[in-house]
Structure 1
Amino acid sequence: MASRFSALRPASDTFLRRESVADPAALRSRSFLSSTIDTCTYALDAHKEAAVKYQVLGPVAALSDDCRIPLQQKSQVLLAVLVLERGRPVPRQRLMEIIWDEPDPVDRETRLIRIVSELRQRLRTANPEVADPLPDMGDAYRLVMHPEEADAHRFRAKAAKAKTLDGEAAIRMMTQALAEWAEGHGLYGRPLAGLRSTWADSNRKKLQDEHRDAHLFRLERIARDGGHEQVAEECRVLDDDAESLLDESFVAMWMITAYRTGGSDTPLSVFRRAEERFRRSLDRPVSQPLAELARRIEAHDPELAGSHGSALARLQLSRPGGIHRITSITTRAKETTTMGEQADRPVFDNNNSVIGAQAGEFKEKVVINLGGVSQVADSGQAGQPEDDRNDTDGRAS
């Protein structure tokens, strides 16, 4: 397709040569056509191997021929902000606040101009086809890029696509999405690695939550297809993060799938480790529903060994330091309900059980379906991807 746009240039030149070279209108037309053809060709060429790739789902980097372009840390911060903004202009004032993260450093306007100039020169050297990769928009700068050139945007596009699919197709697409991340960094990943600032911290948390959600989405669907052993093993591998055992969704998924493939020893060991981590890190016990799940595993409750796939126990807020509100433990597609909501639903059959719990961290009673009934399809997972605008106000968007 790009070659078709390129093929238009000789035809446009032939057409315009019919006009006088001195004709200003002809010159403007030729300039406009040439610019349009270049823009369309460059946009379509984004589907080919990009001359420069941008990485933020790990150490921040610009890569040319898979080789890292050397960048100072301030340049890395500037690049990360512009990459996550997907080519949108970012005001100079906000860039200065993000990069220095301190009140009125000396000569920061001059220093920003120097950092922009250095980054522009390195990117231009790596990709001479782009005359100015960091155009000055007056009171703002932007990065000339296409979303496909950045790992974060490729990940988000594939993750959003996976949530519109079913079965094996959803698993494959989410696996491709997670492949955009640097490997070996547990449930949450290490985005924006090495950057330390208010902006970096807030956007790191947003990206980490997206990484965690993608993993749990994928593992849940593998479990639904009966791949309990695979899920239990992948949970073991993901447990290389200090925060993973503070995520009750992750812990519950690991416990249930491990129980269904190897008995009670492993899931109870996981539970005891989670208990200890909660006490040491948050100075509080695990939630009552998770403790009840451990009790049922220890009692070898036959309803936990059903043939249906075990879905994750999703927590609305699952990062350390927050309240862990369970929104789902189940064997099919289900969301947690309040006691009042459950009263309006059909009574579960003999293949299901309900746990009601009310603990200090919950504002309302919750019901957790550990059986195999498919009640409510996962909400918020189909349709358009969430706004991936990075937080230029210092708060995770």
Structure 2
Amino acid sequence: MPTTATTARPGAAELGQQERAVLHGVGCGLRDDEIAAALAVSEDVVAGHLARILGKLGLRDRAAAIVHAFDCGLVSPGHGPRTPGPDQLPRGADGRTAGPRVRISVLGPLRAWHDGRAVDLGHLRQQAVLAALALHRGRTVSRQELLDGVWGSEPPVTNVVPVHVYRLRKTLRLADCPVPVIEHDRYGYRLATGATEVDLARMEELVAAAGTAHRAGDLPEAVRLCSRALDLFGGEPLAGLPGPLAELERLRLVERRIAVAQRRAELRLQLGQCARAVTELITLSAEQPLNEPVAAMLMGALYRGGRQADALAVFDRTRRRLAEDLGVPPGPVLRRTRRLILHGA
């Protein structure tokens, strides 16, 4: 008797992750070259996976594999994939892979744009849930992590996390794509790969590229890339969001911005751009009056620009603020910088 779609046979669960992704692509009607492009592998690898899939599942040919992908629930008729393969991206009307459709900013007050239009993210706890997913973009965040990060020691009495995720999904939903922007599995929630872009990830890419340019000796390019990274900051990170996670990340991201600004100033000094470095460091020092490394760098830049008295004035001003606000004397870095300036080193 011929094998039918209802005959018992091993399901997709018997397959490895990449084999499932290949079966998913076959079920969606993709060619081998399209599946290979989506998975970043060669067509030979796709063909090998397909041969193993047919063997493991006892399927006759590609047509039988398509039927099986629907039968086992990997693909839904008329609705595209239920679970996208790795790195699957939304496609435009021309069939080509489209770029991220939802942009999320955490380097300032939390904001999101859907196809370039700003969207209302709801009340603060709901925003904090989205921020937690954006800060952990690329990995699954468990419900307990969200509860701990957003509510801390005062968790809600009801299971509100799925409610917030449901509302965020509706707000950020891509009308022409059945895949949700926020995915869910038994481990928790995550932002869909390819559908979202987070400014934090872009900032780190630019900083890494600046480091590469610096090591290659291209200091102007390193300065340009640092400036682009700093331009992504739009005020206090995660301003106003509640919860322990937002509080800790605010501090971390502020420190990250200071570090990038210091790096840019150092690069400008190496390029002989003392005046621009001084201007940027004065602004940074005004924002961070108790930051001794920033004060020390400003003193050094002023001294290199022939402004010894101004450099020593920075020391005196910082010393007073440390005494008044923290009750501590200047640290070794600041004292050493002052000593070198006094000795003309």
Assess same fold via TM > 0.5.
yes
Distance 1:145 1:169, change over 3 A: same
What's the counterpart of residue 169 of structure 2? Answer: 120
Distance 1:127 1:209, change over 3 A: farther
The TM-score with structure 1 as length reference comes to 0.61
Cα shift at 1:97: 2.3
Alignment of 1:253-272 (within 5 A): 253-272=297-316
Contact 1:120 1:134 in 2 (8 A): yes
What's the counterpart of residue 65 of structure 2? Answer: 25
CA distance in 2, matches of 1:218, 1:195: 29
What's the counterpart of residue 248 of structure 1? Answer: 292
CA distance in 2, matches of 1:65, 1:151: 15
CA distance in 2, matches of 1:123, 1:130: 12
What's the counterpart of residue 348 of structure 1? Answer: none
Identity %: 27
What's the counterpart of residue 109 of structure 2? Answer: 59
Contact 2:181 2:195 in 1 (8 A): no
- Which residue of 220, 225, 229 maps to 1:168? 220
What's the counterpart of residue 337 of structure 1? Answer: none
Cα shift at 1:262: 4.3
Q: Does 1:276 align with 2:320?
A: yes
CA distance in 1, matches of 2:310, 2:119: 45
| SS class of match (1:42) | coil
Cα shift at 1:105: 2.8
What's the counterpart of residue 90 of structure 1? Answer: 141
Contact 2:107 2:237 in 1 (8 A): yes
Contact 2:292 2:333 in 1 (8 A): no
| SS class of match (2:103) | strand
Deviation track 1:63-116 (CA, whole Å, cap 9, x = no partner) reads 124443112111111111111111421111221222222344321x1x222211
Cα shift at 1:11: 6.3
- Which residue of 161, 169, 177 maps to 2:229? 177
Amino acid at match of 1:27: V
Alignment of 1:217-232 (within 5 A): 217-232=263-278
- Which residue of 174, 195, 207 maps to 1:159? 207
CA distance in 2, matches of 1:83, 1:175: 23
What's the counterpart of residue 211 of structure 1? Answer: 257
Distance 1:216 1:38, change over 3 A: closer
CA distance in 1, matches of 2:249, 2:220: 31
| SS class of match (1:141) | strand
Deviation track 1:333-382 (CA, whole Å, cap 9, x = no partner) reads xxxxxxxxxxxxxxxxxxxxxxxxxxxxxxxxxxxxxxxxxxxxxxxxxx
CA distance in 1, matches of 2:143, 2:306: 57
The TM-score with structure 2 as length reference comes to 0.69
Distance 1:75 1:147, change over 3 A: same
Amino acid at match of 2:314: V
CA distance in 1, matches of 2:257, 2:67: 51
Distance 1:93 1:223, change over 3 A: same
Structure 2: which 5+ residue stretches go unaligned? Answer: 1-24, 33-59
Cα shift at 1:121: 0.4
Deviation track 1:103-157 (CA, whole Å, cap 9, x = no partner) reads 44321x1x22221111110011x55425322223135112214497110001111
Query: Aligned-residue CA RMSD in angstroms?
Result: 3.5
Structure 1: which 5+ residue stretches go unaligned? Answer: 13-19, 304-397
Distance 1:47 1:62, change over 3 A: farther
Amino acid at match of 1:179: D
What's the counterpart of residue 6 of structure 2? Answer: none
Contact 1:246 1:278 in 2 (8 A): yes
CA distance in 2, matches of 1:25, 1:10: 12
CA distance in 1, matches of 2:166, 2:237: 25
Higher helix share: 2
| SS class of match (2:104) | strand
